[in-house]
Amino acid sequence: MKVVYSLSKGQLLSLDLLISITIFTLILAILVSQISYNSKEIIELREQNKMLEESYRIGEIFFREGYPENWNESNVEIIGLATTNRIDWNKLKKLENLGYQRSLVLHTKDNTLFQKE
Domain boundaries, the chain: 15-105
Residue 87 β-bridge partners:
82
Mean pLDDT of the chain: 77
Determine contact, residues 77/98, Cβ cutoff 8 Å: no
Name the pLDDT band for 64 (thresholds 50, 70, 90): confident
Yes or no: say if 68 and 77 are a contact pair by the CB < 8 Å rule.
Answer: yes
pLDDT for the residue numbered 103: 67
pTM: 0.47
pLDDT score for 88: 83
Q: Does residue 50 surpass a pLDDT of 60?
A: yes
Tell me what the mean pLDDT of segment 45-63 comes to: 86
Cβ-proximal residues to 101 (8 Å cutoff; 6+ apart), any chain: none
Bridge partner list, 53:
none
* Bridge partners (DSSP) listed for residue 31: none
Residues 6+ apart with CB under 8 A from 76: 66, 67, 68, 94, 98, 106, 114
